[in-house]
Amino acid sequence: MGTTASQLGKDLLSEYQELTFLTKQEILLAHKRFSELLSKEDRNLTSVPMEKVLSLPELKSNPFRKRICHVFSTSDMKDGSLTFEDFLDLLSAFSDSATLEIKSHYAFRIFDFDDDGTLDGGDLEKLVNCLTGETEDSRLTPEEMRQLISNILEESDIDKDGTVNLSEFQHVISRSPDFVSSFKIVL
Amino acid sequence: MEVVGEEDGDTEGKRKNGRSKKDEKKEDKEKVEKKQNKKNVETSSEHESSEEEEDEEEKEGEEKPDVLSPEELEKLKEEVDERKKLISTLRGKPWPMRKKLLTLRESHEFVEKYEGALGKGKSRKLTKWMKFQRDFENFKTACVPWEMKIKEIESHFGSSVASYFIFLRWMYGINMILFGLTFGLVMVPEALMGRPYGSMPRKTVPRADEANAMDFAVLWDFGGYAQYSVLFYGYYNSQRAIGWLKFRMPLSYFLVGVGTVAYSYMVVIRTMARNANEDGGGDNNSFNFSWKMFTSWDYLIGNPETADNKFASITTSFKEAILEEQESRKDDNIHLTRFLRVLANFLVLCCLAGSGYLIYFVVRRSQKFALEGLESHSWWERNEVNMVMSLLGMFCPMLFDVISALENYHPRIALQWQLGRIFALFLGNLYTFIIALMDEINLKREEEEVLKLNMTIWEASLYNGTLGANSTAPPITVHPADIPRGPCWETMVGQEFVRLIVSDTMTTYITLLIGDFLRAVLVRFLNYCWCWDLEAGFPSYSEFDVSGNVLGLIFNQGMIWMGAFYAPCLPALNVLRLHVSMYLQCWAVMCCNVPQERVFKASGSNNFYMAMLLVILFLSTLPAIYTIVTIPPSFDCGPFSGKSRMFDVIQETLESDFPAWFGKVFSYASNPGLVLPFLLLMVLAIYYLQSTSKSYKQANLELKKKLQTVSHTVIMSSYLSSPPGGEHRAHQGKSDHQIPPSATSPPAPRGHRMPGPLPGNQRQPAPSVQRVPNSQRH
Contact A89 B97 (CB under 8 A): yes
Mean pLDDT of A80-100: 89
Mean pLDDT of B58-78: 65
Interface test with B, best of A3, A14, A15, A18 (most B CBs within 10 A): A18
The reported pLDDT for the residue numbered A110 is 92
How many Å apart are CA B599 and CA B607, to the nearest integer?
19
Computed over every residue of chain B, the mean pLDDT equals 76
pLDDT, one tens digit per residue, over B110-120 is 888 877 666 65
The reported pLDDT for the residue numbered B291 is 83
Instruction: Kindly state the percentage of chain A with pLDDT values over 90.
Output: 13
Q: How many other C-beta atoms are found inside a 10 Å radius of the C-beta of residue B637?
A: 27
At residue B46, what are phi and psi to the nearest 5 degrees? -90, 135
Strand extents, DSSP E, B259-324: none
Tell me, yes or no, if A141 comes closer than 8 A to chain B by beta carbon: no
Contact A138 B311 (CB under 8 A): yes
Which residues 146-165 of A are in CB contact (within 8 Å) with B? 147-148, 151-152, 155-156, 158-163, 165
Contact A172 B290 (CB under 8 A): yes
pLDDT, one tens digit per residue, over B247-288 is 888 889 999 999 999 999 999 999 888 877 665 443 445 677
State yes or no: pLDDT of B208 exceeds 70: yes
B235 secondary structure, DSSP code: G
Q: Shortest CB distance from B318 goes to which of A107, A140, A169?
A: A140
The reported pLDDT for the residue numbered B401 is 81
Handedness of CA B12, B13, B14, B18 (dihedral sign): positive
Contact B301 A106 (CB under 8 A): no
Tell me, yes or no, if A167 comes closer than 8 A to chain B by beta carbon: yes
Residue B183 — pLDDT band, cuts 50, 70, 90?
very high
The reported pLDDT for the residue numbered B49 is 43
Residue of higher predicted confidence among B340 and A177: B340
The reported pLDDT for the residue numbered B285 is 55
What residues contact residue B738 under an 8 Å CB cut-off, 6+ apart?
none
Handedness of CA B252, B256, B258, B263 (dihedral sign): positive
Q: How many other C-beta atoms are found inside a 10 Å radius of the C-beta of residue A41?
A: 12
Contact B315 A176 (CB under 8 A): no
Q: Which of A184, A15, A85, A129 is nearest to B150 (CA)?
A: A184
Q: How many other C-beta atoms are found inside a 10 Å radius of the C-beta of residue B730?
A: 21
Contact A179 B137 (CB under 8 A): no
Look up residue B180 and give its amino acid. Answer: G
Where residue B121 falls (left for φ over 0; alpha for ψ -120 to 50; beta otherwise) is left
Q: Shortest CB distance from B322 goes to which of A89, A118, A147?
A: A147
Nearest CA in chain B to A106: B94
Domains in chain A: ranges and CATH: 11-94 (1.10.238.10), 100-184 (1.10.238.10)
The reported pLDDT for the residue numbered B686 is 96
The reported pLDDT for the residue numbered B147 is 83
Q: Which of B563, B558, B561 is nearest to B609 (CA)?
A: B558
Q: Which residues of B644-659 are buried (b: 16+ CB within 10 A; e: fewer)?
A: eebebbeeebbeeeee
State yes or no: pLDDT of B405 exceeds 70: yes
Tell me, yes or no, if A45 comes closer than 8 A to chain B by beta carbon: no
- CA distances to A111, A125, A132, B296, B307 from A136, rounded to whole Å, are 22, 15, 9, 20, 16
pLDDT, one tens digit per residue, over B238-254 is 888 888 888 888 889 99
The reported pLDDT for the residue numbered B164 is 87
pLDDT, one tens digit per residue, over B415-457 is 778 888 888 888 888 888 888 888 888 888 888 888 888 888 8
H or E, element range at A6 = none
Q: Which residues of chain B have a CB within 8 Å of the CB of A23?
A: 137-138, 141-142
pTM: 0.71
Burial class (CB in 10 A: 0-12, 13-18, 19+), B692: exposed
Q: Which residues of chain A have a CB within 8 Å of the CB of B707?
A: 158
Residue B764 — pLDDT band, cuts 50, 70, 90?
very low
Contact B141 A25 (CB under 8 A): yes
Strand partners, B594: B543
Q: Which residues of chain A have a CB within 8 Å of the CB of B546?
A: none
The reported pLDDT for the residue numbered A111 is 92
State yes or no: pLDDT of A120 exceeds 80: yes
What residues contact residue B274 under an 8 Å CB cut-off, 6+ apart?
B5
The reported pLDDT for the residue numbered B525 is 84
At residue B51, what are phi and psi to the nearest 5 degrees? -65, -40
Q: What is the largest CA-CA distance in chain A?
A: 57
User: Do the beta carbons of residue A92 and residue B91 sit within 8 Å?
Assistant: yes
Mean pLDDT of B173-182: 94
The reported pLDDT for the residue numbered B120 is 52
Residue B466 — pLDDT band, cuts 50, 70, 90?
low
B633 secondary structure, DSSP code: P
Residue of higher predicted confidence among B603 and B479: B479
Q: Which residues of chain A have a CB within 8 Å of the CB of B307?
A: 61-63
At residue A47, what are phi and psi to the nearest 5 degrees? -125, 150
- CA distances to B108, B252, B562, B603 from B186, rounded to whole Å, are 53, 7, 17, 41
Which residues 106-135 of A are in CB contact (within 8 Å) with B? 106-107, 109, 111, 115-118, 124, 127-128, 131-133
Where residue B751 falls (left for φ over 0; alpha for ψ -120 to 50; beta otherwise) is left
Instruction: Kindly state the percentage of chain B with pLDDT values over 90.
Output: 12
Q: How far is A39 from chain B (nearest CA, A)?
A: 23
Q: How many other C-beta atoms are found inside a 10 Å radius of the C-beta of residue B636?
A: 22
Nearest CA in chain A to B766: A161
The reported pLDDT for the residue numbered B181 is 92
Q: How far is B184 from chain A (nearest CA, A)?
A: 34
Most confidently modeled range among B14-18, B123-127, B470-474, B586-590: B586-590
Burial class (CB in 10 A: 0-12, 13-18, 19+), B299: buried
How many Å apart are CA B516 and CA B538, to the nearest integer?
14
Q: What is the ipTM of this complex?
A: 0.87
State yes or no: pLDDT of A156 exceeds 50: yes
Q: Where are the alpha helices (DSSP H) in B29-95?
A: 34-44, 47-61, 70-89
State yes or no: pLDDT of B682 exceeds 90: yes
Residue B59 — pLDDT band, cuts 50, 70, 90?
very low
Contact A182 B708 (CB under 8 A): no
Residue B5 — pLDDT band, cuts 50, 70, 90?
very low
Contact A158 B707 (CB under 8 A): yes
Tell me the three state secondary structure of residue B730: helix
Tell me the three state secondary structure of residue B242: strand
pLDDT, one tens digit per residue, over B6-55 is 334 444 444 444 444 444 444 444 443 444 444 444 444 444 444 444 44
Least confident of B162-176, B364-378, B463-477, B495-509: B463-477
State yes or no: pLDDT of B622 exceeds 80: yes
Q: Which residues of chain A have a CB within 8 Å of the CB of B768?
A: 161
Tell me the three state secondary structure of residue B219: helix
How many Å apart are CA B54 and CA B270, to the nearest integer?
44
Residue B198 — pLDDT band, cuts 50, 70, 90?
confident
User: Do the beta carbons of residue B303 and residue B366 sit within 8 Å?
Assistant: no
pLDDT, one tens digit per residue, over B596-619 is 765 555 445 567 788 888 988 998
Q: Which residues of chain B have a CB within 8 Å of the CB of A144?
A: 318-319, 322
Tell me the three state secondary structure of residue B656: helix
pLDDT, one tens digit per residue, over A30-50 is 998 888 888 666 666 788 888
Look up residue B251 and give its amino acid. Answer: L
State yes or no: pLDDT of A5 exceeds 60: no
How many Å apart are CA B547 and CA B602, to the nearest integer?
9
CA B567 to mean position of chain CA atoms: 23
Tell me, yes or no, if A140 comes closer than 8 A to chain B by beta carbon: yes
CA B649 to mean position of chain CA atoms: 32
How many Å apart are CA B520 and CA A114, to the nearest integer?
47
pLDDT, one tens digit per residue, over B699-712 is 988 887 787 777 67
Interface size A-B, in CB pairs within 8 Å, comes to 228
Residue of higher predicted confidence among B377 and B520: B520
How many Å apart are CA B159 and CA A138, to the nearest integer?
23
* ∠ Cα B763 B768 B770 (to 5°): 125
What residues contact residue A12 under an 8 Å CB cut-off, 6+ apart?
A3
Give the 3-state DSSP-derived string for B111-139, with helices as H, strands as E and coil as C. HHHHHHHHCCCHHHHHHHHHHHHHHHHHH
